[in-house]
Structure 1
Amino acid sequence: MQKKITILLCSAGISFMLGGCSGMINANNNQKNEQTKETQAAPSEGSLISVQDYTGEGYALPYGKVTDKIADENLDEIKNAAIKFFKETYKTDVTVHNVVGAKDGATVFVESKGEPHFYTYAVVPIDELAKKVMTEKIWADEFQVENAIKGGLYHMIFNEEFKKLDNYLESVAADGQVTGKTKESLQNAGGQGFMAPYYFISMTDEELAIKPVYDLFINNPDESVKNLRNAYDNTQFNPENFFINIQYFMSDEESEPNKEIFNRIVKDLEEMTSIPKGSYSVFLNDNFIDKKSADGTKDNSLEQSFPDYIIKD
């Protein structure tokens, strides 16, 4: 069965291919990993940077050199168009963090203000020959944005459960052996919905429990958290459609992914009972991330993912 997947990777940044700019792909859920890693060339030595130093600078999309320059020359116009688009279409105030040129357009990375909290993106078409940005034709992948908002709503209405997960993940990093992505990298090269330094949320198009919550929010963005929580349809929840993707990096540039730490994280998650329901994957990478793709997974990464999710139901 084909399931449309919100995020295409397990611990990476997004690879954009939207008719020129970016987007989501129909992914077979039976492929390796919960969201399918898109085939990519291995990162070159020169494109790797310590994850602690990575802010999203250097992030690039295919065929974007010309459009990137045009976008820079029209930055204010693009930013204003994106802010207006998300307010009018999704009833959400956003901050624009980054604009990256791609084939035939520019991808605009945004972050929601307040709750529900999420990262996503829109696309502004660009006429390269006329060197013109067509802000009136700004668009976004509807499925991707809706699921970004849904992930933020999940985190908001199940705040106590996610707080327990957050506290645990932060405790793992407290001794300094492992770390996560920087806030700046999430802002400038994220776009994957609800994201935190150590994990991100994703879901399939068959995740129906959150739909009435989303509908209520879109109809009334000022609806109370209590009413949003009451709208959640627990009878429709299936952990196979909701993913919590945990990703750590080694803090030391010289360290390989540590099996002892990795196994401890997996064991702890298997034993925990009060964290959010869903299918959990765990990745532990070395210290380096590809600055062009925001992807930290490599051949030496340790992982527990499809088909061996940690299921919480």
Structure 2
Amino acid sequence: MKINSKTVLFSLGISLLLGGCSGINQGDDKGKKTQAASSEDTMASVQDYTGQGYALPYGKETDKIANENLDQIEKAAIKLFKENYKTDVTVHNVVGAQGGATVFVESKGEPHFYTYAVVPIDEKEKKVKGDEIWVDEFQVENAIKGGLYHMIFQEEFKTLDDYLQSVVEEGQVTGKTEEALQNVGGHGFMTPYYFVALTSKEEAIKPVYELYVSKPNRSVEDLRNAYEEGSFNPEHLKVNVQLFMADKEAKPSEEIFNQVTKELEEMNSIPRGTYSFSLNDNFVDKQSSEGAKDNSLKRGFPDYIIKK
């Protein structure tokens, strides 16, 4: 199972990459025609996309087996997160992959986050090995830490949320659907407009996480008091903002991209961390849920927006 497990994680890791390309490539007429044809077959409008068509390599057979054993998989996933992470979760989607299936879950209440587990499947025996379900511990821990970070800095995140919502309400851009986050998100603390990712070197939130898993019913105030302010390094906490053009015919607007970039740079009351921003056209790839393309506009490495 070792090789298959790595394959599942590697495949999922690719599909969870939500950042875009840093270059801008408008392409010629032939490229536009090819993209249009591709859009009809493999792409979906971001406003309509709920995860339909999402797939992982070599998952056709395991997907069938998983769908025939959803109750068993759901019980195994709920048990794993409750016992190992003191967290109640809802199972939203199960997607077959080589040697197993990926189980997308969402936490109930706070800390709020999306993540996934992997359940091995024996294709020959057509058997789901629910008792062998497992997770990428680093990924799950960081998903919870992102949710905890949001809990203890709710005011700052509300400022960011209100700002991005105001940009969307102008009607020219939009974000992903809640259903897409639930069914194929799996990337920690997420909203339709951004997700939070922590590096392995992030230390400020570590005691908050330890307190939560030992005593999950502690108050937000207690969790906030456990936060080690002096250990915070903005380079170790990433806030990845991603928006899409609302019009199916529109290409990413440089005017909107420059406006949002400038306003993010000027804002001082949003969460501290390292920010990237990408603006995509209206479509996402059905199979990978990826929105970044050659024509996407991006502010990111090595020129991140840093909030210290």
Instruction: Give the counterpart letter for 1:185 in structure 2.
Output: A
Match of 1:140 in 2: 135
Instruction: Give the counterpart letter for 2:212 in structure 1.
Output: F
TM-score (norm 2): 0.90
Using a 3 Å threshold, how does the CA distance of structure 1 residues 80 and 221 change in structure 2: closer, same or farther? same
Instruction: Give the counterpart letter for 1:179 in structure 2.
Output: T
Given that 1:60 and 1:100 are in contact with CA atoms closer than 8 Å, whether structure 2 keeps it comes out as yes
Instruction: Give the counterpart letter for 1:21 in structure 2.
Output: V
Pairs within 5 Å for 1:40-51: 44-45=38-39, 46-51=41-46
**Superposition RMSD in Å:** 2.1
Q: CA deviation at 1:108?
A: 0.2
- Counterparts of 1:57 and 1:211 in 2: how far apart (Å)? 36
Q: CA deviation at 1:34?
A: 10
Given that 2:19 and 2:240 are in contact with CA atoms closer than 8 Å, whether structure 1 keeps it comes out as no
- Counterparts of 1:107 and 1:21 in 2: how far apart (Å)? 7
Given that 2:20 and 2:278 are in contact with CA atoms closer than 8 Å, whether structure 1 keeps it comes out as no
Match of 1:4 in 2: none
Structure 1 residue 129 corresponds to structure 2 residue 116:
no
Structure 1 residue 212 corresponds to structure 2 residue 212:
no
Instruction: Give the counterpart letter for 2:165 in structure 1.
Output: E
Q: 2:139 aligns to what SS in structure 1? A: helix
Match of 1:21 in 2: 8
Q: 1:249 aligns to what SS in structure 2? A: strand
Residue identity over aligned pairs, in percent, reads 65
Match of 2:62 in 1: 67
Pairs within 5 Å for 1:211-230: 211-230=206-225
- Counterparts of 1:59 and 1:74 in 2: how far apart (Å)? 19
Pairs within 5 Å for 1:204-283: 204-283=199-278
Q: CA deviation at 1:20?
A: 3.0
Q: CA deviation at 1:18?
A: 4.3
Structure 1 residue 149 corresponds to structure 2 residue 144:
yes
Structure 1 residue 188 corresponds to structure 2 residue 175:
no
- Counterparts of 1:74 and 1:186 in 2: how far apart (Å)? 23
Structure 1 residue 203 corresponds to structure 2 residue 198:
yes
Q: CA deviation at 1:21?
A: 1.5
Q: CA deviation at 1:76?
A: 0.6
Given that 1:20 and 1:105 are in contact with CA atoms closer than 8 Å, whether structure 2 keeps it comes out as no
- Counterparts of 2:19 and 2:99 in 1: how far apart (Å)? 26
Choose 1 or 2 for highest CA Rg. Answer: 2
Given that 2:5 and 2:99 are in contact with CA atoms closer than 8 Å, whether structure 1 keeps it comes out as no
Q: CA deviation at 1:223?
A: 0.5
Where structure 1 has 5 or more consecutive residues not aligned to the other structure, the ranges are 1-16, 27-32
Q: CA deviation at 1:19?
A: 1.8
Match of 1:7 in 2: none
Instruction: Give the counterpart letter for 1:113 in structure 2.
Output: K
Q: 1:20 aligns to what SS in structure 2? A: helix
Structure 1 residue 81 corresponds to structure 2 residue 81:
no
Q: 2:249 aligns to what SS in structure 1? A: coil
Structure 1 residue 285 corresponds to structure 2 residue 280:
yes
Match of 2:31 in 1: none
Instruction: Give the counterpart letter for 1:22 in structure 2.
Output: L
Given that 1:24 and 1:141 are in contact with CA atoms closer than 8 Å, whether structure 2 keeps it comes out as no
- Counterparts of 1:251 and 1:97 in 2: how far apart (Å)? 26
Aligned residues: 288
Given that 2:20 and 2:297 are in contact with CA atoms closer than 8 Å, whether structure 1 keeps it comes out as no
Say which structure is richer in helix: 2
- Counterparts of 2:280 and 2:18 in 1: how far apart (Å)? 17
- Counterparts of 2:123 and 2:255 in 1: how far apart (Å)? 52
Q: CA deviation at 1:248?
A: 0.2
- Counterparts of 1:142 and 1:104 in 2: how far apart (Å)? 19
Using a 3 Å threshold, how does the CA distance of structure 1 residues 35 and 252 change in structure 2: closer, same or farther? closer
Given that 1:104 and 1:127 are in contact with CA atoms closer than 8 Å, whether structure 2 keeps it comes out as yes
TM-score (norm 1): 0.89
Given that 2:19 and 2:242 are in contact with CA atoms closer than 8 Å, whether structure 1 keeps it comes out as no
- Counterparts of 2:83 and 2:136 in 1: how far apart (Å)? 15
Of 116, 119, 136, the match for 2:114: 119
Instruction: Give the counterpart letter for 1:141 in structure 2.
Output: D
